[in-house]
Amino acid sequence: MIDYRSIEQKWQKAWDDAKVFDPEPDEREPFMITAAFPYVNAPQHIGHIRTYGTTDTYARYKRMQGFNVLYPMALHATGTPVLAFAKRIANKDKELIDELRIFHVADDDIMRMSDPEYIASYFAKEMEGGMRAAGYSIDWRRKFISIEPIFSKFVEWQFYKLKEKGYITRGKHPIGWCTNEKNAVGQHDTRHDVQPEIQQVTVVKFKDPSSGIFFGCATYRPETLYGVTNIFVNGKARYVIANIDGNRYYLTKKAAEMLALQFNIVIESELDGSELLSKKAVNPIDNSEVPILPGFFVKEDTGTGVVMSVPAHAPFDYVALERLKSENYPMPEMQYKRVVVVEKGGDGIGLGRSLSDVSAGQAKAEHPEVPALAYLELLHADDKAIDDVVEFATKLLYREESHWGIMDVGEFKGMKEPEARELIKAKLLKEGNAFNIHTVANDEPVYCRCGTKVIVNIVDQWFINYGDKKWKDLVKGMFPHMAIYPEKLRLTFDNLIDWIDLRAAERSQGLGTKFPFSEGHIIESLSDSTIYMCFYTFVHIIRAKDIRVDQLKPEFFEYVILGSGGADAVESATGIDAGTVNRCRESFEYWYKNTSRHSAPDLVPNHLIMYIFNHVGILRKENWPKQIVVNGFVNYEGEKMSKSLGNIIPVVDGIEKYGADPLRFIEIAGADLDTTTEFSADGVSSVHARNSYILESIKSLSSMKSKELSHIDYWLYSKLNSKIRNATSHMEGISLKSAYTEIYYNSINELKRYMDRGGDNGIVVREFLEDMVLMLAPIMPHVAEEFWSMLGKSTLIAKERWPIANDSMVNEPEEMVEEIIDRTIDDIKQSIELTAKIGANKEKRPSEIKIIIASPWKSKAYNMLVARKNMKEVMENGELAGVDKEELSKFLSQFMKRINMLVARTELEEGLLLRAFVEAEEYISDKFGNAKIVAESEKDSKSARASRALPEKPSIDILWD
């Protein structure tokens, strides 16, 4: 068993002592690789190894490719989480404290965590320790925390630049809002953590001809306007006459209060809903006059409190009208007009697919002309829980019609419903017959933690305008030149680049940099970390020179990052000596041209998109992003790792238990880049076993001698070199799983096979092991160092070069021969199994197995046939003149029926296959209870089965005794 802990510590110290990972500019090509800095509100667990370990593996690989690699790290602490954390500690939150104990945080430290600064510095230190233990090749001299004043100066400068470019604008945006706390409400601020869903709703204006006042009917389906029979109001609610932008409307009092956050509303008078019931209103789509009726389901605090009634398509409307009828409410005769039909198959009007599921297919609606009724019937609306049924019917019908509906009346007859909806909506808006409002659209009302119902507010604040046309075009122009791994994410990025628009830039609470253009606010905490990687290139210089915060004026960054002005001018403006300023500038210029950004997929729609935009918006073209790498998450024994599931393993515990390298290997090479890795203890132990095998192999080298190369040696060389070649190309594409399947799992199998086949050439095995260990160095750096030194090397493998494939050693025929041997063994096995059942062979064992290798003309004839697809042409070909015609015809005819499906095969050198089989006789014999194996050529064979031999499929003749 390998003692991982002691190996890790030994080599980590060696790296530190040799300062292998603290690079400064030199003559080599630079490569700067950064991963999203971790947030300091919890210690790291083993899942984090996926991102930072993948980044490290790539950094180490690049280093071995001869690049001067910088892998820096910082920590993120701005925004509200750290504050919230401190508050929870101050309140002695038990859940949080228990969680911290899982991570071995001492009670003493926990007590002090009511101070946000303490939290940040505690976890900063804790995380650094974990990352060092995992063996990341990080330059820790450049570490900083995003709430440090020197960093804030940099962020401030960033925002001056955005403002200067015109990318920061003031604007309005609908957000969830608590009227009690007068605060924006996000998911974390609501009861049960629901995300307030804000949607646009169209308000259609129905004019009361007697007064000129409008009934504003809120609807998601303005296209059903053709089927309106009446308007519903809540007879028991208080209504107002409100003036909105010059027009007067009837609204519920509550609706008016809510809409006051979205519009300028002047309330003129109040009245009871019942007073509206005598009125009439004009439908703007066809100027028909409809009555106002009481609707039992109309809620006074939803929408406008005025609803247009479309009984043919809205189950609630239908039910309400039925109820009125049964109560003998006086109302005029009305026509339920179907507006939309759902086509189903060829049999005319159907009720759609979802309904047939519900009603188990036997559904035959009696009233297809009134879909709302049909749905209710089929869902058995006579049920007690009537409201539930009606609601379910509403949802189903809405979904069905929105998906499959075709307009049956009006201007847009024949058009698909969703398309017609947009056109009608646009038309109504244009003609002044409607306007849009925003509303919280969740099924259930959303409440703030304080208990107040969340409504929509339109706030006026600073935004970063990612919708800026010029900016967006710049990004669209550069993005195709960026490398994206995995490449299939490119489309996602493209869509997001199109989609991203205004984004709030300020926040009223949290840690961070003061927003420079409005009092009392801080910069939103994703916006402050979009170009921070620049800071790594010179932060250690600032620190070493003890530069004061107040010296970090815009002039400094302007020169260091953009090269504007000059070092002397910066010196006189800031007092920082010109030499230091120039060093910062040179460092930035050197490092920030060849960069790679790594993160988990959750940051794609926000951080990574903003990362691209901000770079393009602020930096010079040569410093724009070059490549982005996105890696997936990690599951633990089939489940997502989460604190609530209790399956979180802190990094330090994981390393203690499994070893840093096996842990790294499983997480990094366990799955393709963008998919979730399954972490399991079984996987780890299989890595342990393989590492031990490598260890034993290295030890066994001393007992091996060098000798002349045989077929199996050439085969192993060939495998080795094709593995190096394949692995290198996988590494270049950051397909770490494929790369390490080749380097590790497959290579070990090849080595085993080599030994199994009797290979024992010390020179060959040593070369194989050396290259394999070199290629393992990026992912299992500690173990690789250990193996490297066991192989007698005195250098650090971290500073060695990646092996280069020798293509001339890749020997396709030798590899093919091995495959044929393998397949032949399988065939023999199968044949024995089947023929053993024959009566004559009962109680017997195979005594001799003849393996008959096909005559060389066969593969020639075969390939000729595949190329010409014509038997006659092959028969008459001069190259096959020496072959017996009858035999040739028999051979060829067996392929004729599948002639079009056959593929040409490589022709092996004459005699190669036979020689290899002869060499392998002992190996094969071993597999069949030491039966005698005779490999012979078809020509020399006396077996009756000899003529059955095919080019890559020797004939087999089994003799039983």
Residues in region 92-131 near RNA by CB under 7 A: none
Q: Does residue number 187 form part of the binding site for RNA (CB under 7 A)?
A: yes
Closer residue to RNA, CB minimum distance, 582 or 680: 680
- From 860, 854, 866, 856, select the one nearest 950 (Cα to Cα): 854
Closer residue to RNA, CB minimum distance, 780 or 796: 780
Region of 303-311, 399-407, 653-661, 781-789 interacting with RNA (CB under 7 A): 399-407
Do β-strands 238-244 and 595-599 pair in parallel, antiparallel, or remain unpaired? unpaired
Q: Where are the alpha helices (DSSP H) in 760-884?
A: 762-776, 781-790, 812-835, 856-868, 871-875
Structure tokens at 459: 């706030």
Choose, by CB under 7 A, the member of 189, 589, 750, 785 that binds RNA: 189
Q: Does residue number 350 form part of the binding site for RNA (CB under 7 A)?
A: no
Q: How far is the CB of 787 from RNA (least distance, A)?
A: 18
Choose, by CB under 7 A, the member of 426, 681, 838, 867 that binds RNA: 838
Rounded to an integer, what distance in angstroms lies between the CA atom of residue 337 and that of residue 332? 15
* Size of residue set near RNA by CB under 7 A: 86
Q: How far is the CB of 794 from RNA (least distance, A)?
A: 32
Q: How far is the CB of 791 from RNA (least distance, A)?
A: 22
Q: Does residue number 936 form part of the binding site for RNA (CB under 7 A)?
A: no
The amino acid occupying position 574 is T
Closer residue to RNA, CB minimum distance, 567 or 630: 630
Residues in region 734-773 near RNA by CB under 7 A: 741, 745, 752
DSSP 792: T
Q: Does residue number 827 form part of the binding site for RNA (CB under 7 A)?
A: yes
Choose, by CB under 7 A, the member of 51, 691, 747, 824 that binds RNA: 824
Total residues belonging to the chain: 961
- From 588, 609, 374, 424, select the one nearest 503 (Cα to Cα): 609
Helix (H, G, I), strand (E, B) or coil at 138: coil
Q: What is the largest CA-CA distance in the chain?
A: 114
Structure tokens at 162: 């955005």
Among all chains, which residue has been given the structure tokens 């290997």? 665
Residues in region 940-959 near RNA by CB under 7 A: 945, 948-949, 953-958
* Per-position x/- string for 230-269, each x denoting binding to RNA as judged by CB under 7 A, each - no binding: ----------------------------------------
Closer residue to RNA, CB minimum distance, 76 or 597: 76
Query: Do the Cβ atoms of 744 and 776 come closer than 8 Å?
Result: yes
Letter string b/e over residues 243-275, b meaning 16 or more CB atoms within 10 A of that residue's CB: bbeeebbbbbbbbbbbbbbbeebeeeeeeebee
Letter string b/e over residues 384-407, b meaning 16 or more CB atoms within 10 A of that residue's CB: eeeeebbebbbebbbebbbebbbb
Region of 62-70, 168-176, 372-380, 565-573 interacting with RNA (CB under 7 A): 168-176
Q: How far is the CB of 120 from RNA (least distance, A)?
A: 11
Choose, by CB under 7 A, the member of 683, 759, 781, 803 that binds RNA: 683
Q: How far is the CB of 768 from RNA (least distance, A)?
A: 18
Choose, by CB under 7 A, the member of 42, 131, 133, 175 that binds RNA: 175
Residues in region 594-633 near RNA by CB under 7 A: 602, 605-607
Among all chains, which residue has been given the structure tokens 């019942």? 274
Q: How far is the CB of 587 from RNA (least distance, A)?
A: 27
Q: How far is the CB of 594 from RNA (least distance, A)?
A: 25
Choose, by CB under 7 A, the member of 829, 869, 932, 939 that binds RNA: 829
φ, ψ for residue 768, nearest 5 deg: -60, -50
Choose, by CB under 7 A, the member of 16, 286, 411, 682 that binds RNA: 682
Q: How far is the CB of 616 from RNA (least distance, A)?
A: 18
Do β-strands 846-853 and 932-937 pair in parallel, antiparallel, or remain unpaired? parallel
Among all chains, which residue has been given the structure tokens 């122009």? 477
Choose, by CB under 7 A, the member of 149, 166, 186, 477 that binds RNA: 186
Residue 582: CA count within 13 A, CB half-sphere: 7
Rounded to an integer, what distance in angstroms lies between the CA atom of residue 855 and that of residue 946? 10
Letter string b/e over residues 481-516, b meaning 16 or more CB atoms within 10 A of that residue's CB: ebebbbeebbebbeebbeebebbbbbbeebbbbbbb
Residues in region 460-519 near RNA by CB under 7 A: 461, 463, 488, 491-492, 495, 499-507, 510
Region of 293-301, 380-388, 554-562, 677-685 interacting with RNA (CB under 7 A): 677-685
Rounded to an integer, what distance in angstroms lies between the CA atom of residue 622 and that of residue 30? 14
Closer residue to RNA, CB minimum distance, 514 or 543: 514
Closer residue to RNA, CB minimum distance, 406 or 504: 504
Q: How far is the CB of 18 from RNA (least distance, A)?
A: 35
CB atoms within 10 A of CB 771: 21
Closer residue to RNA, CB minimum distance, 40 or 138: 40
Q: How far is the CB of 865 from RNA (least distance, A)?
A: 14
Q: How far is the CB of 833 from RNA (least distance, A)?
A: 8
Q: Does residue number 678 form part of the binding site for RNA (CB under 7 A)?
A: yes
Closer residue to RNA, CB minimum distance, 372 or 500: 500
Q: Order of strands across the sheet with 932-937?
A: 932-937, 846-853, 955-960
Residues in region 29-88 near RNA by CB under 7 A: 39, 76, 78-81
Residues in region 902-921 near RNA by CB under 7 A: 903, 905
